[in-house]
Structure 1
C-alpha cells in the first residue's frame, strides 16, 4: 500500500497513522510550495490554552518547488524560538518531564542540521517514527521517479505503476474530491481510505482542562500530554485500519 503526500512540518497524528499503515511513502518534494499551508507550520496549544501556529521562516516563494525552499534564518534565532515556544507551551504537560529531553534532541537535530525545508521535515518524520517505535515505510522522493503526467490523478497512477503497487491509501481530507477515483480504479489500482479526522482520538491536554479538547495539533501535543506509548496506540489502532472503497457510479 502506498501513500503519496507532501512533507509537513511536525505533522498531526493522522499523518503518522497513514505512514504506519503504508509500505511505501512517496514524498512530493517537487511540487510548488504553498504559503499558509502545513509545509512550514503546525498548530500547537500555547501557554494560554489556545491553538496557535509555530512556523519556520521560509518567505513567500511563489512558484518555487518545495525541494528548493530554504529557511531564512542564518543565525538560527527563529529555530531556537520554536524550541523555546514548544518547551514553554508544554512544560505543564503530564509527560513533559519524561518525553521532552529525548523529543527536544530530535527537534534540535532536524532544525539545526539543515537549511533545506525538505530535509528538516523529512528528518523530523523519520526520527519521530523511530521514537514512536513505528516501522517506517519505504520512502522515495517524487523528484527521483522521473514521473510523466498531465494532472494530479495521472501522477498518482504513474507513481503506483512505477512502484508496481496496486493499493493507494488516501486520507479523509480533500483527496477524494481532488482526484478522479474512477480513473485510478480503472487502471487496476484499489483505493483505500483512512478515516482519522472524523474519528479523532480524544485525550487530555494539560492546558485545555477547562476549555475542552482541541484536535488536529502536532503529534508533539499528544506525545507530551499522554506519552509516546499511548500516542503509538492511537496511531496504530485497528480503528484506523484503511478500508477499501468501491466506485458506485458517482461517489465512494
Structure 2
C-alpha cells in the first residue's frame, strides 16, 4: 500500500495534488506544529504575471500551537475579500465559470477549525479533480503525537500496513531509504515534470495555488497535469 503524509495546506500547489494522486492512502498531518510563513493559511495566485498572496485569516497564530489548535476568524469580511481577489484575477480565465462556484462553496463553509477548513477544501478539490483516495486525519486516528519526526512517520506507516512511503522531493533532506528499509518499507520521492500551461501572461509563473491551474485547464487537461510526475528512489 502506498502512503503519503502532509500537513493540510490552504489551496496548495499542483504538486500537493500529485502527491495525493500517487498514493492509495493520504494522511492529513494536522497535529504538528504550525509554521508561520508556511502554506497552512496562505498561498499564491497571479494576475497578468503579478504574483499575489491569498490568506485564510486565523486567530492567535503562534508557532507554539498545532495546526488543529488554530481557528479561522469568524468574521466573513475576510472571506468576501478573498473571493473578490480571486475573482478579479481570474474572471476572464476559460474555466472561471466552472471553478469559481466551487471555490466560493469551500471558502464559505463555516468551519472554525483551520484544520477542518483546509481538509474540507482539499477533499472537495480532489472530488472535482476525480482523485479518489482514502483520507485519514492524524489527530483523529492515533494517539502517537508524543513521537517526533521520522519515528512518528514510521509509526503511522506500520499502523496502516504501508509498504511504500512517498514524500515530496524536498523530503530528501529528512528521510533516508535505509531507515525505511529496516521496517520493510520502500521510500520514494515524487518529482514533477514540466508543468507549464497557458496563463494570461507571456512569462509562466510556477508553483502557484492549484486554483491557477484549474482556472486555465479543463478537467481532461488537469488529469494530464496530475499524472505528470515520476517516483524516484
Is TM (by shorter chain) over 0.5?
yes
CA contact (8 A) 1:147 1:155 kept: yes
Q: Which residue of 2 aligns with 1:234?
A: 225
CA contact (8 A) 2:79 2:107 kept: no
CA contact (8 A) 1:167 1:189 kept: yes
Asked whether 1:185 is paired with 2:174, we answer no
Structure 1: segments with no counterpart, 5+ residues: 246-252
SS in 1 for 2:156: helix
Counterpart CA distance in 1 for 2:32 and 2:26 is: 15
Q: Write the mapping of 1:147-162 to structure 2, written as runs, cut at 5 A.
A: 147=144, 150-162=147-159
Q: Which residue of 2 aligns with 1:50?
A: 50
Q: Deviations over 1:173-215 (max 9, x none)?
A: 2x1102343212222110012101xx34111111x12xx1011
Q: Deviations over 1:200-238 (max 9, x none)?
A: 4111111x12xx10110111101111223211211024x
Q: Which residue of 2 aligns with 1:60?
A: 61
Q: Which residue of 1 aligns with 2:20?
A: 19
CA distance 1:60–1:186, shift in 2 (3 Å): same
Q: Which residue of 2 aligns with 1:205?
A: 199
Name the count of aligned residue pairs: 230
Query: How much is the aligned-residue C-alpha RMSD, in angstroms?
Result: 1.7
SS in 2 for 1:176: helix
Q: Which residue of 2 aligns with 1:221?
A: 212
Q: Which residue of 2 aligns with 1:113?
A: 110
Structure 2: segments with no counterpart, 5+ residues: none
SS in 1 for 2:62: coil
CA contact (8 A) 1:96 1:224 kept: yes
Structure 1 length as normaliser, TM-score?
Answer: 0.85
Alpha-carbon shift at residue 95 of structure 1 (Å)? 2.4
Q: Which has the higher strand share?
A: 2
Counterpart CA distance in 2 for 1:232 and 1:104 is: 20
Q: Deviations over 1:41-89 (max 9, x none)?
A: 011003x4211210111243231111111012x2200011111111110
Q: Write the mapping of 1:73-112 to structure 2, written as runs, cut at 5 A.
A: 74-97=74-97, 99-100=98-99, 103-112=100-109
Alpha-carbon shift at residue 106 of structure 1 (Å)? 4.1
CA distance 1:8–1:51, shift in 2 (3 Å): same
Q: Which residue of 1 aligns with 2:31?
A: 30
